[in-house]
Amino acid sequence: MAFPDHSDLPARTMLTSEGSVSRSTHIVADPQTQRLRTLTPIECERLNGFPDDWTAGMPERLRYFTMGNALVVPLVKAMGKRISALAEDEQRS
């Protein structure tokens, strides 16, 4: 696992422990200051394909927990469309 996490590569799976600091926590270099920091709740929502502030109103720790182990919505949708297209092609054959 790279340290800090690369912002130009696909992200690793977020875990429910994301709000704490452990060896699985996503640590990134701030693009402006180059200081190391953890992801914000909004960045976690974006990584998982949720709208900004989808978890707003929850305590911050719960916002991180909610994003941990979440399915990446755009990826699941893309896989579903591809499976559906393959099934349709197979039925036509």
Q: What is the DSSP string of 48-63?
A: TTPPTTTTTTS-HHHH
pLDDT computed for residue 35 by the predictor: 95
Q: What is the pLDDT along the chain (93 residues), one digit of tens a residue?
A: 678 888 888 888 888 887 777 777 888 999 899 999 999 999 999 989 999 999 999 999 999 999 988 888 888 999 999 999 999 999 998
pLDDT computed for residue 80 by the predictor: 95
pLDDT computed for residue 73 by the predictor: 85
pLDDT computed for residue 69 by the predictor: 83
Tokens of 79: 């896989």
Strand runs (DSSP E) across the chain, as ranges? 27-29, 36-38
